[in-house]
Amino acid sequence: MDWLSIREFLFDTIKYFITVVLILFTIVYVVSITQVVGSSMYPTLKDGEILILNKLNYRFRNVKRGDIISLKYADTKYLIKRVVGLPGDKIEINNNTLLINGKAYEEKYLDKDMKYENFTLKDIGFEKIPKDMYLVLGDNRENSLDSRKIGLIKKSDINGKISLRFWPLNKVKIFSN
């Protein structure tokens, strides 16, 4: 082996190493792929659909009402839910109507025939949502493990915002709010 071959080998090895590091950085800190498991976000998301999770979004922007997020729950479990209540909000569900600070909030993404139980923040021990905490609900309110059962979630428990559904291919959709 001559010096040129060794140099070329080292140069190629460094290029591959940098590529692997960049890919790992992207997966860990920027985006990841997640799959919908269950029916708690029906009709918006269905079991088996594959999504892109934007992990950087909330480092530079605030969480917004209506965002679909992935959050950490019970050490190894991740949930996909919709942000409904923001810090400072008073939330109530009465006769299938979401009330935010006493005003009805239209939820076009819900199945109109769905019936679900009444709820207030007092049911989970709060008058209003504290700073850096959020109320999240599944779109399938009849069958969802969400803030009504697990309580408010901390901003630090949010993995990121769902940005894109890319599987199945005939249902590709960009989620923007």
CA distance 148 to 68: 17
List the catalytic residue out of 70, 81, 147, 163. Answer: 81
Question: Which DSSP helix (H) or strand (E) runs through 99?
Answer: strand 97-100
Three-state secondary structure of 43-87 = CCCCCCCEEEEECCHHHHCCCCCCCEEEEEECCCEEEEEEEEECC
CA distance 37 to 81: 12
Single-letter code of the amino acid located at 173: K
Q: Are 78 and 33 in contact (CB under 8 A)?
A: no
CA distance 87 to 65: 10
List the catalytic residue out of 5, 15, 39, 40. Answer: 40
Q: Is 81 a catalytic residue?
A: yes
Residues designated catalytic = 40, 81
